[in-house]
Every structure is written in C-alpha cells, then in structure tokens.
Amino acid sequence: MQISYFHTSEAVSPVLPVAEGGPDAAVVIDVLRATTTIAWSLENGAEAIQAFADLDSLEAAAAAWPAEQRLRAGERGGQRVEGYDLGNSPLAVTHERVGGKRIFMSTTNGTRSLAAVREVPLLLTACLPNRTAVARRLIERDAREVWIVGSGWEGDYSLEDSLAAGAVASAAMELAVAPHRGVSCGNDEMLAALALWQQWRHDTETCLRAASHGQRLIRLGDHDADFACCAAVDSLTIVPVQAEPGVLRAS
C-alpha cells in the first residue's frame, strides 16, 4: 500500500481513474470538526450523512426528504448556519437527536474535500477517534494506492488534519506486518505528517488547540468539550464509508 497525503482538496483535483494512475481508495479528514462529527453521528444511529459542498444543493436535497426523518447541519466560519438544526459539533449529535435520521451536511471545508474525491472507488472519512479502524479497513480491502485528503482552512494548510493523516498512516504501518502488505509513503507531505504525529501523538489536544483553526474556535467561545472529543485517539471503531455518491453510512 502506498499512501500519499494532500493537505487540501484543491491539491487533488481532478482525480484520475484507477486505470490511469488514480487512487483506489481515498480518506477524507477534517478533524475540527466535520469528520469527527460524521463518525459520532453514525455511531449514535444516524441513518446516513449526505454531504454537500454548498448550501443551495443541500436545501434542494433536504426538501425532498421526509421532514421527520431529516436534519440539516450547516457550518460556516466555525459557527452554525442560522436556522439549521445542527452546526458542526460532535457533542450535539446525540442518539436522541440523530437516531434514525439522515443528516444533510455542509461545512466550510470538510464537505468540499468529500466532493473532490467522490468518484474514488473506496471513500472513507477519518478522524483521530477512528484512525486505527480506518487503517484496518484499508488493509482489509487491500487498497493499493491511497490518498489521504485534508480539508485545511479555505485552501490553507491545516496542522490538525496533517496530524490525523500521520495517525492513520502510522496505524496502517503498525497493522501491516506481513511483508506483502508493506505500507510506504507516496509523497513528502505524508512523511511530514508522520513526523508531526510522532511529535504530538501523546498530546493531541494541545496540538489541536495550537493549530490556527483551534485558535479560531477558542476565540468563538467555549469549545473545550469539542476539543477533548476530537483529540480522543481510537475512541471509536466505526468507519464512515461512501455507499453512494455523497452519502456516507456506517460500516
């Protein structure tokens, strides 16, 4: 398995088909907070997450879904979109709130990355809480060319997404012990992400808080519980997988 890391969706567009050298698996990461929220939503019983890069598309799709079976989750600039049921906090997606419902989600950065790689045959989302579960799934599916795609912040580098990319790759290397299942780095960004993980693996919350987006959340208000949840390594075994274009389900 060869794993490459791209810190924003802009770095991977367009995605080539597998036959032309494109990836057979992609992992989208948005630690603060979309992919953490997606994982916890599915853990707590959401029927599916349907992701949208823009709010107009979200509104049109949600309007066609039974009102009692849907929730709209919208975030821009770290804050909930006015009038929406949910923002982008993993603490808000309790079983009582999301159980049995489809969440129509659009966030500032994470859902754009999902849209960029939606044509890849195997598409997963990862965060620090499910990093080992995602690595195990990649190995089980015998993925050969894996692209980890961070979400960044409006096109800029993201420290916390790079930390999680290194966490996923490190887990894959630890699990892939058989010689024929070796894991290698496909680019320098992946090597750098692994080094970042080695530096911060025992103090992930401090890294998240030090990151520019972590600082942005701190300025917006009290997000201590969100930080703790997003920094909790291997607290989940659920793996969100794209079941149909734009729709993620638990697996």
Q: Domain with 90 in it: what CATH number?
A: 3.90.1560.10
What is the predicted pLDDT for the residue at 16? Answer: 87
d(CA 205, CA 223): 12
Token pair, residue 20, equals 């032309």
Token pair, residue 28, equals 């989208």
Domains identified in the chain, total number: 1
For strands 145-150 and 2-6, give the pairing.
Answer: parallel
Q: Compute the average pLDDT of residues 212-226.
A: 94
Token pair, residue 84, equals 């929406």
Q: In this predicted structure, which of 18-22, 25-29, 96-100, 141-145 has the lowest mean pLDDT?
A: 18-22
For strands 102-106 and 2-6, give the pairing.
Answer: unpaired
Q: Compute the average pLDDT of residues 215-237.
A: 96
Q: pLDDT digits over 15-34, tens only?
A: 888 988 899 999 999 999 99
The pTM score is 0.95
Average per-residue pLDDT in the chain?
95
Identify the domain containing residue 244 by its residue range.
2-250
Q: What is the DSSP string of 145-198?
A: EEEEEE--BTTB--HHHHHHHHHHHHHHHHH--SGGG--EE-SHHHHHHHHHHH
The SS3 call for residue 102 is strand
Please determine, for residue 115, whether its predicted confidence score (pLDDT) is greater than 70. yes
What is the predicted pLDDT for the residue at 24? Answer: 97
Work out the percent of the chain whose per-residue pLDDT is above 90. 88
What is the predicted pLDDT for the residue at 178? Answer: 60
Q: pLDDT digits over 44-90, tens only?
A: 999 999 999 999 999 999 999 999 999 999 999 889 999 999 999 99
Q: Predicted confidence band at 181 (pLDDT cuts at 50, 70, 90)?
A: low
Work out the percent of the chain whose per-residue pLDDT is above 70. 98
What is the predicted pLDDT for the residue at 180? Answer: 46
